[in-house]
Amino acid sequence: MSDKTLIRSSPSSKSTRLFIPDLVYFEPGALEYPKGKQFMDFVTARGIEYRMTTSHNRVTNLPGETENEKYRIAKRTLVVGVRKTLDFDQSKPSADYAIPISTGCMGHCHYCYLQTTLGSKPYIRVYVNTDEILAKAKEYIEQKAPEITTFEAACTSDPVGLEHITGSLAELIRFMADEPSGRLRFVTKFHHVDPLLGLKHNKHTRIRFSINSDYIIRQFEPATSRFHERIEAAAKIARAGYPLGFIIAPIIWYDGWEQGYAELLQSLANALPDDAAQGLTFEMIQHRFTKTAKTIIEKRYPKTKLEMDVAMRKQKWGKYGRYKYVYPDEQQTALRQFITERIFEYFPSAKIDYFT
């Protein structure tokens, strides 16, 4: 947690600022860990309001008059705790396991799946016992070695947006660098990658950027890094020698989508160093929603232009036992074909992992 990484950009630079919480809660035991003390130093040095709580489940009395105000405040509230459940969830198909270092996110992407999965607890949780989490990861690796075990660090959060406070990704990357059979991956919508650039990684960590057309980012992804910021950050990651990937998600059908996605791929090709194309991966996820998500989104972002008209969508049975709504086959095919062609036009040796 160096001071250098904590400098806020000046507003005139129009750079997305590093996240600084407005309110921090500490759970019991958190301050017994060096990382807990590090968080406390961070908080007191900046005069951030903090409270002690017996459990994150008791973080229910957040300030705010209306439900939406409480939601916005929760998104700027950090809960520092000890991760008790050390059995990792599976994270197929992207990785074998989800490695838990944080939950929740300060971003305000209208379509975000966390709106439903985190329910009434949208605050951000970070864990102080990284050593115990890494010891568990080592157990999983040893069970399967010499086969490779992969861990996804961004299943329930965007840890890059929190790295200047936690330093947890740096710990994971360094740890995985020395594990011949361990691999790490995570995805981000933030450009604050500078603390990761000089780390020893041995190419055991793949960093993916969640990207989209400039229009989609401006319309639907407030409080995340902008189009050009993410692309510049990806170029930095490529130059630092990390395996690199992109998730184009959610792919959205709108007036001008062809131009938007063509510009996206062209901008990537212009920004990335020539050798970055080697080993580059793409994942493509079309926009989908459930009826529950639609209700929550319309309440939290009442002015959203996100199209969620079930009559214009195709119903698909989801693995969580409810229907989700995706684009009809014809639109899916058009989106997939067009973007795939653009990818191979600029990056002929890239690999497309999936379109879903």
Restricting to residues 198-227, name those near ligand SF4 by CB under 6 A: 224
C-alpha dihedral over 194, 198, 200, 201, to 10 degrees?
40
- Residue 332 CB burial class (10 angstroms; 0-12, 13-18, ≥19): middle
One-letter amino acid of 28: P
* Whole-number Å distance between alpha carbons of 151 and 145: 14
Asked if 189 touches ligand SF4 (CB under 6 A), the answer is yes
**DSSP designation for 31:** G
Piece of the chain touching ligand SF4 by CB under 6 A; list 38-46, 108-116, 240-248, 270-278: 108-116
Number of chain positions touching ligand SF4 (CB under 6 A):
8
SS3 category, 38 = helix
Per-residue binding string, ligand SF4, 15-44, x by CB under 6 A, is ------------------------------
Per-residue binding string, ligand SF4, 121-140, x by CB under 6 A, is --------------------
Piece of the chain touching ligand SF4 by CB under 6 A; list 35-43, 107-115, 176-184, 191-199: 107-115
Asked if 103 touches ligand SF4 (CB under 6 A), the answer is no
Give the pair of three-digit tokens for residue 180. Answer: 């011949």
In this chain, which of 30, 114, 193, 335 binds ligand SF4, going by CB under 6 A? 114
Closest separation in Å from C-beta 265 to ligand SF4: 21
Q: CB-hemisphere CA count at 13 Å for 114? A: 22
**DSSP designation for 160:** G
Nearer to ligand SF4, 130 or 225 (CB): 225
Asked if 283 touches ligand SF4 (CB under 6 A), the answer is no
Q: Find, among 323, 325, 301, 302, the residue nearest to 312 by Cα.
A: 325
Asked if 251 touches ligand SF4 (CB under 6 A), the answer is no
Nearer to ligand SF4, 154 or 268 (CB): 154
* Whole-number Å distance between alpha carbons of 130 and 206: 20
Q: Find, among 308, 328, 306, 307, the residue nearest to 316 by Cα.
A: 328
Nearer to ligand SF4, 293 or 350 (CB): 293
In this chain, which of 105, 141, 207, 280 binds ligand SF4, going by CB under 6 A? 105
Closest separation in Å from C-beta 112 to ligand SF4: 3
Give the pair of three-digit tokens for residue 95. Answer: 């990785």
Closest separation in Å from C-beta 170 to ligand SF4: 20
Asked if 152 touches ligand SF4 (CB under 6 A), the answer is no
Asked if 158 touches ligand SF4 (CB under 6 A), the answer is yes
Piece of the chain touching ligand SF4 by CB under 6 A; list 81-89, 105-113, 255-263, 266-274: 105-113
Distances (CA, A) of 337 to 154, 215, 260, 282, 342: 28, 20, 15, 14, 9
Nearer to ligand SF4, 112 or 326 (CB): 112
Q: Find, among 153, 208, 200, the residue nearest to 179 by Cα.
A: 200
Asked if 109 touches ligand SF4 (CB under 6 A), the answer is yes
Distances (CA, A) of 29 to 23, 33, 197, 277: 19, 7, 32, 46
Piece of the chain touching ligand SF4 by CB under 6 A; list 12-20, 109-117, 166-174, 276-284: 109-117
Binding site for ligand SF4 (CB under 6 A): 105, 107, 109, 112, 114, 158, 189, 224
